[in-house]
């Protein structure tokens, strides 16, 4: 079973990830992992933290001569800003963040105990994990990319830049919509036989777990609820020994299973919770009205969220691939995939 855990705090010494279940025999390009980490730091509206941290994999385990050996893969990313023990307590929770909920849940008297782990900084470790999963999927010609569709309701680049500039001047933040597209995704990944094996549900959970993501749609998504079935469902044809569709309103998934069409997922990200001009809140110790805490923040991070979503999609697809075709040896998996592709006419 493919699984991973992350550890580390926003201003701690390291971010850690352990990825277990990658088959033996996969060549890992560490430079490619670092490239994915760099992509996560890019985009309009990013804040000062991105100029401080130069994310790179500091150490990697589970390899011999750059090949996986079936052992857990350990990834370490060093934080340049590791000031967690010197930072002052945070007493006024930020609306929209996990601050107050975490304080109440665990009985803390300092919001920093919450925000250090709830911070989106944790997603750097997820991107490192996703980069490994992408390299596995690329062995089967599966490619994953993302793009920003809108920020603050604007779709033109010139309007987006102006809106981000306006938000920055007013010490405000912006959200938006991004899309993830998977090309050459093998059909038959996922299952309809149990709710927790349906791939659309697994993909939704993985993307909704990214901080600030508030909605997700696959294929036609919400628009399908406004149309007749004859306008929504993708007619099926057969020619040259294989089934195919001329449209892809389903977004590559039917009944929780991939259908060989491009997998298309869109997600909506709310504006980042930390505001330079903070909203009203309450001091957790005195219970008196106060302005919310202000930590270092981004004006907008929609492009970065798309990169993180790519990584989460890569993990879920890699998990489904190994569940269907085996997980011990890459060589054996390729034999199984080739046999399957011949059977289904690919």
What pLDDT, on the 0 to 100 scale, is given for residue 43? 86
Cα separation values, 274 from 47, 79, 99, 119, Å: 12, 21, 11, 11
Reported as a single tens digit per residue, the pLDDT across 144-167 is 999 999 999 999 999 999 999 999
What pLDDT, on the 0 to 100 scale, is given for residue 53? 62
Question: Does the pLDDT value for residue 49 go beyond 60?
Answer: no
Average pLDDT along the chain: 95
Report residue 220's pLDDT band, with 50, 70 and 90 as the boundaries: very high
67-68 and 3-7 beta bridge pairing: unpaired
Tell me which DSSP letter residue 141 carries: T
Half-sphere exposure at residue 320, Cβ-oriented, CA atoms within 13 angstroms: 26
What pLDDT, on the 0 to 100 scale, is given for residue 242? 87
What pLDDT, on the 0 to 100 scale, is given for residue 47? 67
DSSP-derived secondary structure for 321-343? HHHHH-SSBHHHHHHHHHHHHHH
* Cα–Cα dist 187/259, whole Å: 5
Please, what is the Cα angle at 233 between 210 and 318, to 5 degrees? 35
Helix, strand or coil, per DSSP, at residue 22: coil
Q: CB neighbours of 6 closer than 8 A, spacing ≥ 6?
A: 15, 16, 17, 122, 125, 126, 129
Domain that holds residue 31: 3-344
Question: Does the pLDDT value for residue 342 go beyond 60?
Answer: yes
Report residue 50's pLDDT band, with 50, 70 and 90 as the boundaries: low
pTM score of the predicted model = 0.95
Tell me which DSSP letter residue 292 carries: P
* Cα–Cα dist 196/192, whole Å: 9
What pLDDT, on the 0 to 100 scale, is given for residue 296? 83
- Report, as an integer, the average pLDDT of 8-21: 95
What pLDDT, on the 0 to 100 scale, is given for residue 48? 64
Reported as a single tens digit per residue, the pLDDT across 239-257 is 988 899 999 999 999 999 9
Reported as a single tens digit per residue, the pLDDT across 132-143 is 999 999 999 999
Q: Which two tokens stand for residue 4?
A: 């991973």
Report residue 52's pLDDT band, with 50, 70 and 90 as the boundaries: low
Report residue 190's pLDDT band, with 50, 70 and 90 as the boundaries: very high
* Cα–Cα dist 127/40, whole Å: 8
* Overall number of domains in the chain: 1
Share of the chain above pLDDT 90, in %: 91
- Report, as an integer, the average pLDDT of 289-318: 95
In DSSP terms, 178 is beta-bridged to: 148, 267
- The domain that contains 88 carries what CATH number? 3.60.150.10
């Amino acid at each position: 079973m493919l699984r991973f855990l992350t550890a580390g705090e926003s201003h701690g010494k390291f971010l850690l990830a352990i990825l277990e279940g990658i088959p033996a025999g996969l060549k890992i390009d560490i430079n490619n992992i670092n490239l994915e980490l760099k992509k996560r730091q890019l985009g309009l509206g990013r804040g000062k933290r991105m100029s401080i941290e130069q994310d790179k994999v500091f150490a990697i385990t589970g390899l011999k001569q750059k090949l996986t050996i079936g052992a857990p893969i350990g990834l370490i990313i060093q934080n340049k800003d590791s000031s967690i023990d010197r930072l002052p307590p945070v007493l006024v929770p930020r609306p929209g963040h996990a601050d107050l909920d975490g304080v109440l849940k665990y009985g803390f008297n300092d919001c920093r105990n919450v925000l250090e782990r709830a911070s989106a900084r944790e997603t750097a470790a997820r991107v490192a994990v996703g980069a490994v999963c992408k390299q596995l999927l690329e062995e089967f010609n599966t490619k994953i990319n993302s793009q920003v569709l809108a920020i603050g309701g604007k779709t033109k680049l010139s309007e987006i830049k102006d809106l981000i500039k306006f938000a920055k001047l007013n010490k405000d933040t912006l959200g938006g919509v991004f899309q993830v597209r998977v090309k050459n995704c093998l059909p038959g990944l996922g299952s309809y036989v149990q709710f927790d094996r349906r791939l659309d549900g697994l993909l939704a959970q993985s993307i909704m777990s990214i901080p600030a993501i508030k909605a997700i749609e696959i294929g036609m998504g919400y628009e399908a609820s406004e149309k007749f079935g004859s306008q929504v469902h993708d007619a099926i044809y057969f020619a040259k020994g294989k089934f195919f569709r001329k449209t892809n309103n389903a977004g590559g998934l039917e009944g929780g299973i991939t259908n060989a069409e491009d997998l298309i997922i869109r997600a909506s990200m709310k504006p980042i919770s930390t505001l330079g001009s903070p909203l009203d809140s309450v001091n957790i110790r005195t219970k008196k009205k106060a302005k919310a805490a202000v930590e270092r923040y981004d004006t907008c991070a929609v492009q970065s969220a798309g990169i993180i979503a790519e990584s989460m999609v890569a993990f879920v697809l890699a998990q489904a691939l190994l569940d269907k075709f085996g997980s011990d040896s890459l060589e054996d998996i390729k034999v199984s995939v080739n046999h399957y592709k011949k059977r289904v006419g690919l």
